Structure 1
Amino acid sequence: MSANGETPKARKSLILNAFVEMCSGHQSPGLWRHPDDESHRFNDVDHWIELAKLLESAKFHGIFIADVLGGYDVYKGPRNLDPAIISGAQWPVNEPLAVVPAMAAATENIGFGVTVATTYEQPYHLARRLSTVDHLTKGRLGWNIVTGYLDSAARNLGHTQQPQHDDRYAIAEEYVRVTYKLWESSWRDDAVVLDKERGIYTDPSRVRQINHQGKYFTVPGPHICQPSPQRTPLILQAGTSKSGKAFAAQHAEAIFVAGHSPSVVKNNIAEIREMAKTQFGRDPQSIKFLALFCPVLGRTEEEAREKFHYYRSLGSIDGALALFGGWTGIDLNKYDDDQELRHVESNAIRSAVEGWSKATPEVPKWTKNTVGHHITVGGLGTSAYGTPAQIADIMEKWVEEADVDGFNLAYAIKPGSFKDIVELLVPELRRRGLFWDDYAVKKGTYRENFYGKKGQSGPLPEHPAAKYRWKAGVDAADHQIPEN
């Protein structure tokens, strides 16, 4: 008990994911020029197997693979891909789900979160692809549900532009309900009987149509795959708009947040937790918030500082501004090189600059080049350099001030940044009691190790997907498929 009579809060055991994409550089455009960077090997399956084995050796919870379906063509636009193409700013980029089974075959415990958009693919088809990979990984799959944000993707997938923001979330809401019905309601847990005596592979009385008819989708079903180890993959999400928060509060098991200081994301986290509790009846602490963080580590502060400044010197300003344009829809090219961005007409830019200036007050003037320079290591998340103790202090500050539960750790160079995390940072976190020594459930599902609960392969009881589960021994007449 503390001096003021209050019981101190128990320290959280952090959830750690590696944050990557099937491209070169990802959040650090231009750093493929570093002599030790191997992110250009993203086409090589051995590169991904090596990464998975390295991260599992340190007991990382998961590898989160981001994705986009189009190029970043806002900067120096419109529809100008040249800055992204030249700098390699998330271009070229491969489909992420394909590499997961190879990584899973080389490991036993680490999970794999994969980004797939709901706007451009039918739920019946995606449910099959995700179930297949959940089977092949023995239940170690997570689905990061996104609605998309690039008009370049929409134009290549049958649209003139993206649907409106709130419409995309309305589509996503119905979409995820369809997948719950397919995964959880169309097959009973024990539908596959493999009865050799009677010659019955699957009992037809334990498989049924879902007969979904909604505003956006008509899916009679049933699901074409038998139940996978998790049935519903671990649900991940990243929306912080009004619609995004409502969607996340209802469905997300993990939420990714990005900001240059804890104060930037603190209110969003508190709001989503409260919404989950009061509007959707969920335990707010069951939703785990993971902050984007790109640490640059050294055995001394001087070594870390030199690394960081060398990384910055290699970063591509045009590549960074191309990413910024895609992320925000803002083309900074229309501003002069020395123009102070605090005074421009865009509220979005002024707000971003205010956040950066509070986090890094040593920057005297924010221009488009300053912004680009800032993004070259770690993107729009927080970046920091220091010794393992200094970096661990920063992570503790995020936990204490923003109530995050863990981190999506981005890289400056790959695999070098992750090797530094494994060799330098993880031992320091363990010394402080902030990270586990081993997986809670050996050879468990992603969800079991995410929550540290053996047997928790499916969503928690208060999660909306749980009410869709058709359990073993229950007749179809005794389990109605929920309408919503």
Structure 2
Amino acid sequence: MSDRLHLNLFTMNAVEHVSVGSWRLPGDQSHRYSDLEYWTDVARTAERGGFDAVFFADVRGIYDVYGDDRDTAVEKAVQTPSNDPAYLVPAMAEVTDDLGFAITKSTSYNHPYQLAREFSTLDHLTDGRVAFNVVTSYLESAAANLGFEERMDHDERYDRADEFMDVAYALWEHSWDDDAVRRDRENATYADPERVHAVDHEGEHFDVPGPHGAEPSPQRTPVLYQAGSSDRGREFAAKHAEAVFVSQPSADAVRDYVDDLRERATAHGRDPEDLAFFPGIVPIVGETAAIAEAKHDAYRDAIDTEGVLALLSGFVDVDLSALDADQKLEHIETEAIQGVVNAFTANDDRDWTVREVAEFAGLGTTSPVVVGTPEQVADEFEQWFDEVGVDGFNVKEVARPGSLRDFVDLVVPELRERDLLADSPAGETLRERTFGRRGLPGGHPGRE
């Protein structure tokens, strides 16, 4: 467990992320998602607030499960339209010194040889401030648009992801020796061929002879995030992740998840304390409790329920338009995001109807909402840190960028006053600032 809190801003290079309808709020700037100045301003604000990183969600495909068409997703801006977040990183890095950038990329529709080069490039350009949020793709529309007859089933996606990471580790960690780059002008040798190695991978999904086309970057392997919630996803996270994004609606559910992942990590031969846990959270803060409640009311009024149901339908691969609003949400095994189903059917001590899920998920989907003064919000963060045992939070926005500014201006000073949040980061790379280590920990498969 960390000595102090670590914070990530959880956002998306899109009009809407996980608070559908918030783009209609007065003063909201979500429509500027394609404006580079918007993102450089976000980067400066997050760094001022002591955030470790901006954590970019991303998705392949369009949410077309609800009503069996894409109309609602398009009309309500349900993560559509969206742009690739990786292209924002160099500009955001240029206006900051320490802020990191976690980029979501799918192992389902990328190739490890190409993706390894892309992350090495970004790690070089940012002086070691990049993280890779490892996901598999769950939308049928993504498979169709990328030339596949059907979506890979859930466990096959993770089997491919396991092999994908094996190839990536070989390229990042083992292809170039630390002293391969010589830059010897006198002998006309930039790099020593004897110290650059082929990876010679032949597998079920990939054949990659190698070697890596990029020289070692400051971190070699980017910081590794994962958010597996199904049984297979948890096994993947326990094996590969350094930091785990936890999407559960209550402290008890988060605590159970943390305990389970640590046990699984031990079974994989890893030190369970090498894993850091970041639940999502939606802070709504005001100078007074009345102001905070008024904001909360305004945010709830802006929730687009139909848009929320379209988002959740894609998450769980069930057309929620076909269910009665007062129907209890039953536990199912899904080929999409099992963790969202589990959050409302297996990891809580209450029954949820479709209507209740839509109302709860309107602000931040499966994450708890904290409303109050800076002191009250800081109390909640401190309680999670001390009693639940999390290492930090993925802070979710509602109004953009107003929610971030509120948090940085009001809550961050209170967290620093309590010595819960460092005044300035320690370490040169994102991994050093988050974990206090230079490379992957011992016992991690990337070190083998």
Q: TM-score scaled by structure 1? A: 0.87
Distance 1:67 1:356 in 2: 25
Show the counterpart of 1:396. 382
CA contact (8 A) 2:253 2:347 kept: no
2:447 partner amino acid: A
Which position in structure 1 is the counterpart of 2:253?
264
**One-letter identity of the residue aligned with 2:189:** I
Report if aligned partners of 2:227, 2:247 keep a CA contact under 8 Å in 1: no
Name the counterpart of 2:220: 231
Q: Is the 8 A contact 1:262 1:401 kept in 2?
A: no
Per the alignment, residue 246 of structure 1 pairs with 235
Tell me, in whole angstroms, the C-alpha distance in 2 between the residues paired with 1:40 and 1:356: 35
Q: Distance in 2 between matches of 1:355 and 1:222?
A: 45
1:282 aligns with 2:263: no
Q: Residue 104 of structure 1 corresponds to which residue in structure 2?
A: 93
Q: Which residue of 2 aligns with 1:472?
A: none
Q: CA deviation at 1:280?
A: 2.4
Is residue 2:42 matched to residue 1:61?
no
Distance 1:408 1:205 in 2: 43
Equivalent position to 2:398, from 412, 419, 429: 412
TM-score of the aligned structures, taking structure 2 as reference length = 0.94
Aligned to 1:478: none
What code does the residue aligned with 1:40 have? Answer: H
State how far apart, in whole Å, the 2-side matches of 1:350 and 1:414 are.
Answer: 27
Question: What's the CA shift string for 1:135-163, capped at 9, x where partnerless?
Answer: 11111000001111111111111212221
Q: Distance in 2 between matches of 1:81 and 1:98?
A: 26
1-side partners of 2:4 and 2:129: how far apart?
20
Match for residue 435 of structure 1 among 414, 421, 427: 421
Structure-2 change in CA distance of 1:290 and 1:352 (3 Å): closer
Cα 1:352–1:283 change in 2 (3 A) is closer
Note if contact 1:388-1:428 (Cα within 8 Å) is conserved in structure 2: yes
State which of 311, 314, 318 in structure 1 corresponds to 2:299: 311
RMSD (Å), alpha carbons: 2.1
* Residue 46 (str. 1) matches residue 30 (str. 2): no
1:136 aligned partner: 125
Counterpart CA distance in 2 for 1:147 and 1:350 is 17
310-319 vs 373-382, which moves further = 373-382
The AA in structure 2 aligned to 1:341 is K
Helix, strand or coil at the partner of 1:323: helix
Q: Label 1:201 to 1:462 Cα distance change in 2 as closer, same or farther (>3 A).
A: same
Select the residue among 275, 279, 298 that pairs with 1:291: 279
Amino acid paired to 1:446 = L
Q: Aligned residue for 2:113?
A: 124
State the alpha-carbon separation in 2 of the partners of residues 12 and 358 from structure 1. Answer: 31
2:16–2:80 Cα contact (<8 Å) kept: no
Contact 2:245/2:280 (8 A) holds in 1: yes
**Distance in 1 of aligned mates of 2:180 and 2:342:** 54
* TM-superposed deviation, 1:356: 9.8
1:462 corresponds to which of 439, 443, 446: 443
CA drift of 1:457 comes to 2.9
Q: 3-state SS of the aligned residue for 1:108?
A: coil
Structure 1 unpaired stretches of 5+: 1-9, 360-364, 468-484
Structure 2 Cα separation of the partners of residues 232 and 410 of structure 1:
26
The answer to whether the Cα contact below 8 Å between 2:282 and 2:397 also exists between their aligned partners in 1 is: yes
Match of 1:447 in 2: 431
Match of 2:365 in 1: 379
Letter of the 1:212 counterpart = H
State how far apart, in whole Å, the 1-side matches of 2:28 and 2:348 are: 30
Aligned to 1:166, what secondary structure does the other structure show? helix
Q: Over residues 232-261 of structure 1, what are the superposed CA-to-partner deviations in whole Å (9 max), with x where a residue is unaligned?
A: 000110002111111111110000011211
The residue number in structure 2 matching 1:5 is none
Q: Deviations over 1:320-360 (max 9, x none)?
A: 111111111122211234x3426x6869999655689868x
Q: Is the 8 A contact 1:118 1:172 kept in 2?
A: yes
Instruction: Quote the Cα distance in structure 1 between the aligned partners of 2:96 and 2:109.
Output: 32
Secondary structure at the aligned position of 2:66 is classed as coil
Deviates more, 1:324-333 or 1:349-358: 349-358
| 2:289 is the alignment partner of 1:301 | yes
**Count of residue pairs the alignment pairs up:** 443
Contact 1:260–1:355 under 8 Å retained in 2: no
| 1:275 CA drift (Å) | 1.7
Structure 2 counterpart of 1:482: none
Question: Which of 145, 148, 152 is the equivalent residue of 1:159?
Answer: 148
CA contact (8 A) 2:15 2:79 kept: yes
Which residue number in structure 2 is paired with residue 481 of structure 1?
A: none
8 Å contact 1:29–1:376 — kept in the other structure?
Answer: yes
Aligned equivalents of 2:125, 2:159: Cα separation in 1: 31
8 A contact 2:64–2:70 mirrored in 1: yes
Q: Does 1:328 align with 2:309?
A: no
Q: What SS does structure 2 have at the residue aligned with 1:160? A: coil
Q: What's the offset of the Cα at 1:48?
A: 0.8
Q: Which of 18, 22, 32 does residue 23 from structure 2 map onto?
A: 32
Letter of the aligned partner of 1:402 in structure 2?
A: V
Partner SS, residue 64 of structure 1: strand
In the alignment, what sits opposite 1:22?
Answer: 13
